[in-house]
Amino acid sequence: MKPIDDLNHPARTRRLMAAEEVGALIGSGQLRVPQSDEVNNHVHTTYSFSPYYPAMAAFRAYQAGLRAVGIMDHDSVSGAEEMLDAARSIGIASTAGFELRVSFTGTAMEGRKVNNPDSYNIVYVAVHGIPRGRLPEVRRFLEPLNAARNRRNRAMVDALNRLLPGYGLSPLDFERDVVGISLAREGGSITERHLMSALASALIAHAGKGEGLVRFLEGTVEVEVPPKIVALLADRSNEHYLYDVIGVLKASFLERVFIQPGDDECVPVRTLVELGNRINAIPVYAYLGDVDESPTGDKKAERFEDAFLDELMPELKRLGFKGVTYMPPRNTREQLARVRSLCQRHGFMEVSGVDINSSRQAFTCPILLEPEFRHLVDATWALIAHEKLATRDERYALFNPENPYARLPLSDRIALYARVGQALDSRAPERALEALRTVEDGR
């Protein structure tokens, strides 16, 4: 169907027009998908790395039966307004944030490998629920960090090009092969996945698909291809082929050319937290936990923050974080129970979404509908209400000290905001304050 196809058109105006057309089809009942209670606030788009432009990501979430979707790109919010507008047209609730690597120098965790498989002392964090009027400020904050990241990206491509002749491959051109497959010129970020995507395309062009590529990867490039991925790469009709190769390269090759980020790219954690709190968003720490098997196939079995989690949590509180985000499919029940207990002890909001950056990944996460995780669904609705209310009046941000509900315990505030989020008309998010009054009157 053409309107759906146009959701992934290179021109933003065309994508947004398509979102309006698709929304009209949904509204008229010509295109309708049964909705579950699932939500997902952690979807990457082409503004970092993904097969989906924001408008298409919003529709794919609706198509999967989700009632809410959130954009969460690396080092970029340039796709946020498109996501919010497309979601409004389609009729799915939405929220916007970003991920960033920061430095933990000067903290009690300095020098440790915390939640980053590639680095010591550099930690993944996120900022959720950005009031829409604050997005330009965030873009300005991220611009110099992306410039620094691209200097490092170019240096990593140079390192890669020193290896490629040994594999019988021609060098990559940074502008053509890497920048050209990104949205860097529109404010998007270039990630290590872009580099591995450029390499994956070169490998496929050289060796072809199927068993020949597997032999080339294992024999010439000398990377380990897990047995389950061997079977996928043997299938030339595999629609996720490129993403499967990227996963192999990120897990087993990237380290050969990886250059550690510097201070020009990774701001001090306090700087990021201060930004998040100043703009009345919600800065959160991203819990990884010890990894035995990666669900996305691009992380090795490794030990992270579980050994010192009891030390980490109070330090996060001292630094000013307001929440912790985690992904139930990635961890054991024991890990999740421990994290939840510590979040409650230290007064952190618990946030969860399933990281989507590959065509192979499903937008759904049924585990969130199990009774012990339903609070995470409520948290996403609270996050949505927070964002829409703060967009109208920042006093209503969940953690604003002037919030009229600041006297309520955090759990009660989240419960109230969750009801507001679910009461909101996703096609009219500007009426958030009216939804709040309606819920308040019926409390």
DSSP calls for 162-214: HHGGGGT-PPPPIIIIIGGGS-GGGT----HHHHHHHHHHHHHHHH-SSHHHH
Same domain, 50 and 188: no
Averaged pLDDT, 344-368: 91
Two tokens, residue 126: 């996120």
> For residues 398 and 276, what is the distance between their CA atoms, to the nearest angstrom?
12
Same domain, 91 and 229: no
Same domain, 131 and 158: no
* Domain termination site, one of 372, 407, 436: 372
Same domain, 39 and 110: yes
390 in any annotated domain:
no
Give 156-205 pLDDT, tens digit per residue.
Answer: 999 999 999 999 999 999 999 999 999 999 999 999 999 999 999 999 99
Residue 82 has pLDDT above 70, yes or no: yes
**Can you give the pLDDT at residue 179?**
98
Give me the phi and psi of 323, to 5 degrees please: -160, 175
What is the average pLDDT value for the chain, to the nearest integer? 94
443 in any annotated domain:
no
Same domain, 52 and 96: yes
CATH number at residue 304: 3.20.20.140
* Domain termination site, one of 372, 390, 405: 372
Place of tokens 């330009």: 136
Share of the chain above pLDDT 90, in %: 89
Same domain, 50 and 166: no
Give 270-315 pLDDT, tens digit per residue.
Answer: 999 999 999 999 999 999 999 875 544 445 678 899 999 999 999 9
Same domain, 252 and 343: no
* Domain termination site, one of 206, 227, 256: 256
| Nearest of 43, 56, 45, 47 to residue 9 by alpha carbon | 56
Same domain, 82 and 63: yes
Same domain, 107 and 120: yes
Domain that holds residue 326: 2-141+269-372
The total number of structural domains in the chain stands at 2
Two tokens, residue 106: 């000067």
Same domain, 16 and 27: yes
Same domain, 107 and 185: no
Other Cβ atoms within 10 Å of 95 Cβ, number: 29
Non-local CB neighbours of 300 within 8 Å, separated by 6+ positions: 117, 251, 291, 294
17 in any annotated domain:
yes
Residue 396 has pLDDT above 70, yes or no: yes
